[in-house]
Chain A
């Protein structure tokens, strides 16, 4: 069949496909069944992602028939229940400020921790610190939110005249929350750089710091950027911390010492159950915001994956 040297015809391909589905042995039927079932399980993730996208889109679309997308995406007042104002910019601004600020804290801390653990830490320190970071990563976000309320917000109120509900507390808390994520992903990226590169630098007379900063970190660059994007995406989606400490501001304001609201915190705040079809505009607004949030994080994650894949290619 392959002797003609060209690609097989459609007919030949179809024949081959049917032939491969026919069992050669009696037990191959069971094997195929198992394989199909397992494949469906794996495909479940894709199905669900599509379902989420579709569902959000449908509800958001029906919302956009009531409120115009232009008003939604350019309005600067967000008060869907009281004032019927549907400008989502305050939420987007709040999300970016809190997530961006959190990253300003968490990314350097995480990368620093990763570099230290990778290059400088004695084994015993590594073995103590890594489990602690894992514990930090496993603590539920409600707990972090409460911690912010209890310990950090009062300090900010005293020293910086912040409001009771302010964005800076959320920034600090979320920043620390993402440190374990950045640290472990960056460490993976640093580990993936072949040891020979670093050793070569050291052999040529570099100090450990020079070897790290000029050879390993640049070599792990796309992996590190991928981890940054993932951490940013995580900060964007963080709900409970913001819900507990950042307040319910409805106007577009950029000062983190006052209250800020993010897309995720709005959804959790307003969707507390008794919101139903009784108020279609409010209900729809939840989905419109959810849809926007979903698109944002999906884009970040896809970019992060692409970067990581490209990085892996280069070193494998």
Chain B
């Protein structure tokens, strides 16, 4: 009897999560419908008229910032993951490094924003630019890349490594030519994860002042920037319900971006996985 009650409760737990997802997506799409027109993609932000408000600058800004973030964080994170998985001896220093990675993963995102503000914007003198934003997000995303890359490398069968070594390769040769290509699907997962996180981060970019009134497209690493989540937040914060539709439309764009990105990457990953063995 007790078992039935508890199992029922467990099922309710799952049902609540699923229902929430459904209601969330449903209510947002419904609110967004009137505003899902090409104008919302191509217009610049406007706080005076919801019908004229758009996300052009924010979309381009997101692409810039996320692109640079991936450029910085993927090599660094994969390198760290390879070291921790392949080279690191089992000693206290390694445990310390590993703990450092997982502690960094647990730091709240606002704190990264503060770090970015103090170090990149002010101390490095970069100002509130795309570059400062990317560097901040790189640090934020780095631990996730490391952890996922470690898992990817760990998943490669030992026989691959040992076969290469037995045939006379050096350790690095074995890694570069055998282990990394074999682990490519997992590394791609790491990239997906990094990109998704970077795309959705709002708080640190607010702190570094993502601009929400931008009337031109960001033009480079040294340009002021505007990103999609912060733009959405700006519309949400406007009093009254007039801009809720615009905000919802922005969320739909953001989710569509995330979904398409993940989808493409998963397709590529499946193709890679099938090719191997």
Interface residues of A (CB under 8 A from B): 27-28, 30-31, 34-35, 37-39, 41-46, 48-49, 51-52, 55-56, 59, 108-110, 112-113, 115-117, 120, 129, 132-133, 135-136, 138-147, 149-151, 176, 179-180, 207-210, 213, 230, 233-234, 236-240, 243-244, 264, 267-268, 271-274, 286-287, 290, 293-294, 297-298, 300-302, 304-305
**Chain A residue with Cβ nearest B86:** A38
- Tell me if B3 and A207 are in contact (CB < 8 A): yes
Contacts of B216 in A (CB 8 A): none
Chain A residues whose CB sits within 8 angstroms of the CB of B171 once the complex forms: 31
Residues of A within 8 A of B117 (CB): 271
Scan B188-231; emit 1 where CB is below 8 A from any A CB, else 0: 00000000100111110011110100000000000000000100
A210–B12 alpha-carbon span in the complex (Å) = 20
Residue of B nearest to A149 (CB): B236
Q: Which residues of A contact B237 (CB under 8 A)?
A: 244
A149 CA to B3 CA, complexed, in Å: 37
Given contacts A45-B142, A112-B9, A237-B110, 5 further A-B contacts (CB under 8 A): A30-B170, A138-B258, A179-B13, A301-B106, A302-B99
Surface stretch bound by A, among B40-48, B50-58, B74-82, B269-277: B74-82
Find the B residue at minimum CB distance from A180.
Answer: B17
For B115, give its contact among A55, A113, A298 (CB under 8 Å): A55
Mark interface residues in B90-127 (1 if CB within 8 Å of A CB, else 0): 00000011011111101111111111011100000000
Count of inter-chain pairs, beta carbons less than 8 A: 251
Contact A140 B199 (CB under 8 A): yes
With A31-B171, A140-B254, A142-B251 given, is the CB distance from A46 to B100 under 8 Å? yes
A contact residues around B100 at 8 Å (CB): 43, 45-46, 49
With a cutoff of 8 Å between Cβ atoms, the chain B residues found around residue A208 in the complex are: 3
Q: Which residue of B lies closest to A150 (CB)?
A: B27
Contact B142 A286 (CB under 8 A): no
The distance in angstroms between the C-alpha atoms of A112 and B17, with both chains bound, is: 11
Q: Return chain B residues, CB-CB under 8 Å to A179.
A: 13, 16-17
List residues of chain A with CB within 8 A of the CB of B201.
140
The 3 closest A-B pairs by CB, nearest first: A273-B209, A237-B108, A140-B200
17 pairs of residues in contact across A and B, judged by CB atoms under 8 Å: A30-B172, A31-B172, A41-B80, A45-B146, A52-B115, A109-B17, A115-B10, A116-B11, A129-B18, A142-B233, A143-B255, A147-B24, A149-B236, A237-B110, A267-B113, A271-B206, A301-B102
